[in-house]
Amino acid sequence: MNREIVLDTETTGLSPAQGDRLVEIGCVELINHIPSGRNYHVYCNPQRSMPEEAFRVHGLSEEFLKDKPLFGAVAKEFREFLGDAQLVIHNAPFDMGFLNAELSKVGQPPLSNKVLDTVMLAREKHPGARVSLDALCKHYGIDNARRTLHGALLDSEILAEVYLELLGGKQVSLALIAETRISGADAIATRTIVAQRPVALPTRLSASEAKAHAAFIAKMGGDAIWAKYVEADRTAVPAQ
């Protein structure tokens, strides 16, 4: 099992050395590059004012953050969530610099996790192209309309989608199913359980499209592979 954590932070500015502090952490757990449904999210009181420039980026005010926990109060649970997983971060030096600065303030050692920087990965795959998160979403056709302001958890969720595309997109996802080395209906059931989200995403099909698709599958006969997927989705037990 390959466990990774897609991570993002929000801060009061650009430099912990100049007194800027971390104010939000968002993490998405991936198992074999697929979101498992387990996330970690916390706001932190930076114990300082919020510069207007930073507020315009993430919308987190000093008033909103004043009753949130200090970083020291959540540092243990944060590290426990990370475990020894590889961290997947867009512009990793920035986030790691702030995280390790905060850990140092509370007398803890820096993170020792292996880190994959998706900025570097994107530059290798698309030399000369813009590699901001918004630019990569546009390139891969990923909907980021919700991203009117930066938010650590939302950006982690979007980055998880971008990361899969950087690795090869749907081809990687299909290969993960083959890795189970199970054939037939059992393989379909295993895929459904592993990739299941805690809350199902709303369908993008209209009622007429869904009806037409069902009719098309019905014509294939009971032995068709698509019919087995329909049956697996119908009988799958929702995650608790």
Active site residues: 150
Strands 22-31 and 3-11: what pairing? antiparallel
Q: 231: annotated binding-site residue?
A: no
- Rounded CA-CA distance 31/130 in Å is 28
10 in a labelled binding site: yes
The span from the CA of 117 to the CA of 89, in Å, is 5
Check the annotation: does 157 bind a ligand. Answer: no
List Cβ neighbours of 210 (8 Å cut-off, separation of 6 or more).
203
Instruction: Return the closest-CA partner of residue 153 out of 58, 240, 85.
Output: 58
8 labelled binding-site residue = yes
Q: Residue 28's closest CA among 16, 36, 18?
A: 36
Q: Which run of H or E residues covers position 37?
A: strand 34-43
In what helix (H) or strand (E) does residue 11 lie, and over which residues does it extend? strand 3-11
**Spatial strand order in the sheet of 34-43:** 34-43, 22-31, 3-11, 86-89, 115-117
Lookup result for tokens 């009719």: 215
Alpha-carbon gap, residue 70 to 43, rounded angstroms: 9
Q: Is 53 annotated as a binding residue?
A: yes
Residue list, annotated binding site: 8, 10, 53, 58, 155
Residue list, annotated binding site for a divalent metal cation: 8, 10, 155
Residue list, annotated binding site for substrate: 8, 10, 53, 58, 155
